[in-house]
Structure 1
Amino acid sequence: MLISTTKLDSILNDPDVILTDTRSFKEYSEGHIPGAVHLDLFAFHWIDTTRQGIENFNNQSKSLLSFLGVTPEKKVIFYDSVSGMLAARGVWMLMYFSHQNVMMLDGGITKWQKENLPLEIKPNGFKPSEFSGKINTGIISGFEYIRDNLTNLKILDVRSSGEYDGDTIRAARSGHIPNAINIDWNKNLKEDGTFKNDDELSKMYDYPKDTEIVTYCQGAYRAANTFLVLKKLGFENVKVYLGSWGEWGNRLELPVKQ
């Protein structure tokens, strides 16, 4: 799921590669990796995981991926400023639709620039397709599944400690999902913005590999980053709670802890 700057540089001209810059349009327009299209994934928050809500999310995501031009033979590469949450969300989304040939640039454009690799400022257009993927329900969770399995799941809250403790309020209620463990997603990264090595990460996520884990944050972007780390470490049963605290904290009937 990760690609190095060196490897990406060697395949930039491959017509079957869709390179996607997930940063803001301002950042993209100031300089991006040659050939990259722009898709600001942060615009597509989704905090409704009712049955109808998930169905609407599926439809929106399919439209988005059709716009991006994804077809089965395409290798889709997302990048961010670092090995960040926006690129991770893109990778998770394509895995959710069973598109296996997807990865993120380790270290993002920061590492790319540090190595004096080429940039361009001209925008690149989309070449739309008719995307149809098979939904993988095994890597997504809604609020009902968590509510009904609170004591059976390993729930990872990957927000800041302030959000977890309730000092930082970003919903109708503050705090966290009961039984959740707080491991800030920033701890996944080294100072240079690349992922820590597997030994370091394994010490942070020291659970049996068959543990059922659900990750969440505020809007399932940071949670997607930790999801990728866990999959990279070989965890078999990891889900992202799509609605995250943006949904849970605003659904007054759901339990919270501070």
Structure 2
Amino acid sequence: MSLVMSAPELRRMLGNRNLLLVDTRPFSSYADSHIPGAVNIDLMQFHWIDTSKQGMAQFNKQATLLLSNIGVSKDKMVVFYDDVSGSSAARGVWLLLYFSHDKVAMLDGGFNKWKAEGFKTETKTHPFVHSNFNGKPDPRILADFSHIKSAIKKKKTVIIIDARSKEEYDGSAVRAAHAGHIPTAINIDWKDNLEQDAFKSLDKLEQMYKIPKDVEVITYCQGGYRAANSFVVLKMLGFKNARMYLGSWGEWGNRLDLPVETSSRK
């Protein structure tokens, strides 16, 4: 199943008992107006910058509780949306794929596109219907800091994509103890994935991500949200071996024992 769903496709699914529609925007936006039937969880509040063995054990535990609280279960088709084809909705997609739940998609164009299509909205809030989610973590789409350390030494077989802005990448914008980027990483700003709030056409995305499909590709940003958007794009383009570095620069850039670069890389 595609990881991206159009507004008309979602509209046809509304009312399906096996649909779990998740609004990932701040509650203030949700309360103002949202897609009928959606529950709300601001995924930006659940970030993680410790990918040590102990840190990942805690992440798995807490993420499982979060997904159970919002009602994810094996029979549910879960659709996340943002204002646009954004980073929070993409983080939801990555999170469910990480827990081996492939009945998942994000709304292309987000709530802005939904409204532009003239589809109905509501202000009624919906409570969570709790479940007992127990998805199995899939390490094949996760990169921790130790995996990144190894990947740096494998330039020919592993490509690291920095999904942040050019300023964050080159070190002129500082958001951690260190400025700059992970050595060997190339910079493809996640914002360039979008055009008029939605994902660009596959042809345009192919032109952006001129990377051999047989290599391992790892995305990262500051906190694993923009990188999730780029991860979704890679999956859309057919990359079989794509991972996201969960800790991203929030972990790497704040660890004084890890190497960084500040020069631009073409």
TM-score, normalised with respect to structure 2: 0.96
Structure 2 partner of 1:181:
186
Give the 4+ runs in structure 1 shifted more than 4 A: none
Matches within 5 A, 1:204-219: 204-219=208-223
Matches within 5 A, 1:134-153: 134-152=136-154, 153=158
Structure 1 partner of 2:57:
55
Structure 2 partner of 1:88:
90
Report deviation, 1:83.
0.4
Report deviation, 1:211.
1.1
1:16 to 15, 18, 24: 18
1:41-100 CA-partner distances (Å, limit 9, x unpaired): 000110000000011000011000100111111000000000000000000000000101
Gaps spanning 5+ residues in structure 1: where? none
SS at match of 2:78: strand
Structure 1 partner of 2:114:
112
How many pairs does the alignment contain? Answer: 257
Q: Distance in 1 between matches of 2:101 and 2:126?
A: 23
1:236 is aligned to 2:240: yes
Q: Distance in 2 between matches of 1:137 and 1:219?
A: 18
Structure 2 partner of 1:41:
43
Percent identical pairs in the alignment equals 53
1:197 is aligned to 2:197: no
Structure 2 partner of 1:4:
6
2:254 to 244, 250, 255: 250
- The one-letter code of the counterpart of 1:98 is S
- The one-letter code of the counterpart of 1:106 is D
Matches within 5 A, 1:161-180: 161-180=166-185
Structure 1 partner of 2:123:
121
Gaps spanning 5+ residues in structure 2: where? none
SS at match of 1:10: helix
Q: Distance in 2 between matches of 1:183 and 1:65?
A: 30
Q: Distance in 1 between matches of 2:51 and 2:103?
A: 27
SS at match of 1:20: strand
Q: Distance in 1 between matches of 2:250 and 2:112?
A: 29
1:14-51 CA-partner distances (Å, limit 9, x unpaired): 01100000000010000000000001000011000000
SS at match of 2:214: coil
Q: Distance in 2 between matches of 1:109 and 1:63?
A: 27
- The one-letter code of the counterpart of 1:252 is L
Q: Distance in 1 between matches of 2:55 and 2:136?
A: 18
Structure 2 partner of 1:77:
79
Report deviation, 1:136.
0.7
Q: RMSD between aligned alpha carbons?
A: 0.6
TM-score, normalised with respect to structure 1: 0.99
Q: Distance in 2 between matches of 1:77 and 1:172?
A: 36
- The one-letter code of the counterpart of 1:25 is F
